[in-house]
Amino acid sequence: MAGSVVARKRNIQCRTKVKTGCATCRIRKVKCDEKKPFCQKCVTTGRTCDGYESPFRFFPSQPINSAHAGGIKSDVGLQPIRPTFIEIAPQDIDLLNRYFSTKTMFDVKLSCDEEARQVLQASLTDPAIRHAVSSLRALREDLETSGDGPVSAAQQTPSYYYGLQQYSMALRGLASKLSSPSSNELKSALLCCQILISIEQVRKNFAAMAQHIIQGLRIMHEYRARPNIVAANKLVPAHHDQLPLLDVFIIKLFAAPCKFADPPATADVSGTTLSACLISPHQQPVASRDLRTIAPDMRTELTRIAASTLEFLDKVSQVESVGIALQLLSEKASLLDSLESWLVDLELVRTKIGSLGAEPISVSFLRFFHLILKIVLLGTLNSSPDLYAELRTENDRLQGIANTVGERLTLSLNRSPSPTMIVCSGGLVNFINRSAILSPFYNEASSSPHKPKQTSTQQHLSSSKAMHFLLFGSSGRTGQHVVSELLSQGHTAVALVRTSGSLTPRPGLTIVTGSPLSKSDIRGTLLAAPPLSPSAAIITLNTVRKSDSPFAAQISPPRFLADSCANVCEVLEHAGCYRIVVMSTAGVGDSWGNLPWLSKAFLGWTNVKYALEDHSLVDKEIRLTKMDWTLVRAVRLQFDDQKPTDTKTDVKTLGSKGDGMSLTDSVSVISVASFLVKVAVEGLFVQSAVVVTN
């Protein structure tokens, strides 16, 4: 009997332990059914399946002394990089290198082995990077399995949804890191950014991909990834050693051979025929085909400039003296001149050919690559006061090209009778630049002569068809009407609310619980609906009193509105979103002079004056930001429990001073809400205040 027990124990010990189950089942020490993407044993029992380990394998380069291993403590928050005794399997480096770009589906070789090794090394202990890698793998495998045609929501696979889930988790982790960036957190953020760029290329979300590029390069510059020259020719060393060089990674992606520059060809992936060009030559106008023939020569020259740029960046990273840095400035100027000459040559080619209509997407990607090189060079060895404005201009151009490419590509895929593979020069984010259907109720004839002429930025906003908004104060009476108006026009939104359950969930609306006084909560709101990126923010916050009585004590902090608005502006500006529309009130700023004397007396007698003071702080301080703000100053609000389905009344604008305001003026909350949406969608009254009444 004893012998059988010993034998049974020996057999149990000799069994190979299964390590392929989901993380939840392994923690519970139960057998996992290993269903993908989620274990059904977890799902059917109401548990959250934490997914499976990364497919990438790691092995130690040296045996680990068990006597010392027990004393090693891993702290994911403070130690995102694995100890050096862990090596990454070469085949896994090759696999991630392949996943970095969809070009590799056509046997294009990348030279990003070192970047892949760094990412995999960091993913061992960094959850955000690990989720990003899992997302890229799932989405890439789904692409290769399902093909590249237009896919409806009903056709999306479990693997695709799993990839989006992992993407969302990666973004939340990234937001947490950037809330208090240390050297290690910055390293993790830039490595994560590399993967997000590749993810959005797989998803063909080129506008969002552009935003990842812009924000990643901004982090590199702000935290001085390389030495820099400041005033009086002073050389300042790199602030953070060994920050991942995101600009080098991006240039490598775009410099790799591009199928757009080759004659149309096909390749078979998992039985799906994929075309390397967007439109067949027979469908293209003659001028477009001629321009396509020239594109390889233009790309060759641009690739040569890119190679020289990489050599230049390597020299900058190693510079140790002012003299050498000044010499490199002349090399930088020469590279910028080469880029300018390249652009002139491209326009000459287009002029000679007489190309009609939209240029080939291959040429648009070349323009995109050209702008990336220019932005990288402008930010290198430069910290002049004018740099920010110059970079913002070029970043806007980059974003504009990405938006256009994404829209054209999506339209073409939706019209294409067969799946079409688009291989771009590198990969960016969020095609959902979405623009807006204009509100039909607003009567242009009733608008005031104070309405300013639209800028190019405003025209860009007003030309879009569906947009994504961030909302603050949307659980209030005006804010709820803003939500209804946005959703009725086909837009999407993320709302930050202070109390869970204060806003009814609806399709197209993502609700986040938090406070506008917390920058971390605002960052979480910004990233709550991947891969959508916000076109604008609308703030309808107000101060809180114990009751609706004007004499009730105020319970919100004295600077609640001002601090909330300042936090939103800071987070959005850092994210590259500059459009913000704020609900204000008549009597603020230069409209005080035209406020009826009885209204002034009422404000002075009651506790409403504290709200007016807070609104005045917002009015004063938002003008000091770089935001494209609009302040909508409503006269006396009419509530009367209006419902979103109630009839909307046109509003009349009275300029910033409220010319002609009277004691009887009022405006319904539903009319104000509709006007707020119209202003945000069409880009009206940028950097202006406007008083509104019915």
Q: Write out 326-339 in H/E/C secondary structure.
A: HHHHHHHHHHHHHH
Using pLDDT thresholds of 50, 70 and 90, give the confidence band for residue 358. Answer: low
- Whether a cis peptide bond, with omega within 30° of 0, leads into 83 is no
For residue range 294-327, list pLDDT tens digits in order: 555 788 888 899 999 999 999 988 888 888 888 8
Domains assigned to the chain: 1-43 (no CATH), 90-415 (no CATH), 444-693 (3.40.50.720)
pLDDT surpasses 60 at 444: no
Query: Residue 293 has which token pair?
Result: 């023939």
Cα–Cα distance, 181 to 202 (Å, whole number)? 28
Q: What is the mean pLDDT of residues 252-271?
A: 53
For residue range 575-613, list pLDDT tens digits in order: 888 899 999 988 888 888 877 777 767 666 666 777 888
pLDDT surpasses 90 at 290: no
Using pLDDT thresholds of 50, 70 and 90, give the confidence band for residue 425. Answer: very low
Question: What pLDDT score does 1 carry?
Answer: 47
Question: What pLDDT score does 345 carry?
Answer: 87
Q: Which residue has the higher pLDDT, 329 or 552?
A: 329
pLDDT surpasses 90 at 261: no
Point out the least confidently predicted range of 305-309, 414-418, 521-525.
414-418
Contact 559, 525 (CB under 8 A): no
Strongest mean pLDDT among 70-74, 383-387, 538-542: 538-542
Q: What is the mean pLDDT of the chain?
A: 73
Using pLDDT thresholds of 50, 70 and 90, give the confidence band for residue 354. Answer: low
For residue range 103-121, list pLDDT tens digits in order: 776 667 778 888 888 888 8
pLDDT surpasses 70 at 269: no
Strongest mean pLDDT among 27-41, 245-259, 276-290: 245-259
Q: Which residue has the higher pLDDT, 459 or 492?
A: 492
Q: What percent of the chain has pLDDT over 70?
A: 69
Residue position matching structure tokens 């990077």: 129
Question: What pLDDT score does 548 carry?
Answer: 66
Contacting residues for 51 by C-beta, under 8 A, at least 6 apart: 22, 23, 37, 38, 134, 162, 166
Q: Which residue has the higher pLDDT, 558 or 153?
A: 558
Question: What pLDDT score does 646 carry?
Answer: 53
Compute CA distances 100 → 111, 131, 143, 190, 201, whole Å.
10, 15, 13, 15, 9
Q: Which residue has the higher pLDDT, 148 or 236?
A: 236
Using pLDDT thresholds of 50, 70 and 90, give the confidence band for residue 370. Answer: very high
Q: What is the mean pLDDT of residues 141-162?
A: 68
Q: Which residue has the higher pLDDT, 625 or 554?
A: 625
Using pLDDT thresholds of 50, 70 and 90, give the confidence band for residue 632. Answer: very high
Q: What is the mean pLDDT of residues 46-59?
A: 57
Question: What pLDDT score does 663 carry?
Answer: 76
Q: What is the mean pLDDT of residues 261-268?
A: 38
Question: What pLDDT score does 48 carry?
Answer: 67
Query: Residue 143 has which token pair?
Result: 């692409």
Q: Which residue has the higher pLDDT, 354 or 266?
A: 354
Question: What pLDDT score does 102 carry?
Answer: 77
Contacting residues for 123 by C-beta, under 8 A, at least 6 apart: 54, 56, 129, 130, 133
pTM exceeds 0.75 for this model: no
What is the full DSSP assignment across 190-244?
Answer: HHHHHHHHHHHHHTT-HHHHHHHHHHHHHHHHHTTSS-EEEGGGEEE--SSTT--
Q: What is the mean pLDDT of residues 265-275?
A: 33
Give me the amino acid identity at 128: A
For residue range 642-663, list pLDDT tens digits in order: 554 555 667 888 888 888 777 7
pLDDT surpasses 50 at 458: no
Contact 303, 311 (CB under 8 A): no
Question: What pLDDT score does 150 carry?
Answer: 52
Using pLDDT thresholds of 50, 70 and 90, give the confidence band for residue 36. Answer: low
Question: What pLDDT score does 495 carry?
Answer: 92
SS3 at position 52: coil
Q: What is the mean pLDDT of residues 465-475?
A: 86
For residue range 390-413, list pLDDT tens digits in order: 888 888 888 888 888 887 777 666
